[in-house]
Amino acid sequence: MTDQVDNWHKLARYDTNMQGELHANLLRNNGITVSLQPLSAIPGMNSGIVLWVESTDLASAQRILDTIPTDGAALLDKMSDADFEALSAAQSNDPQGNPIIDDNNGGND
């Protein structure tokens, strides 16, 4: 990491802090130094985040982020029927998805 202030370049802006932090961690796991700039000074406010990287890492960071699919419609187009069946089966077995759980005890514990 250098101490030059003008050595940092804006890489990406995200609407949610979580998405920005996930992508920042991906870059860090690939050896790239990342600085995060929240778009709100209020803690807990999910107003977005900006990722900054050093100029020496800019090209490789952009290359890594370009491999991440972000278009939801394109992802749905690539999914097969088996993928959809696996998702719906997992959701139907999720007890949190169904607020009424029939345990067949008739209200008696």
Weakest mean pLDDT among 15-19, 80-84, 87-91, 99-103 = 99-103
Domain positions in the chain: 5-92
Separation between Cα atoms, residue 69 and residue 67, nearest integer Å: 6
The model's pLDDT over 12-30, given as tens digits with 9 standing for 90+, comes to: 999 888 889 999 999 999 9
CA dihedral 51→52→56→61, nearest 10 degrees, is 10
Q: Indicate the pTM of the whole model.
A: 0.60
DSSP 41: S
The model's pLDDT over 49-65, given as tens digits with 9 standing for 90+, comes to: 999 999 999 999 999 99
Q: Report the CATH number of the 5-92 domain.
A: 3.30.70.790
DSSP 57: G
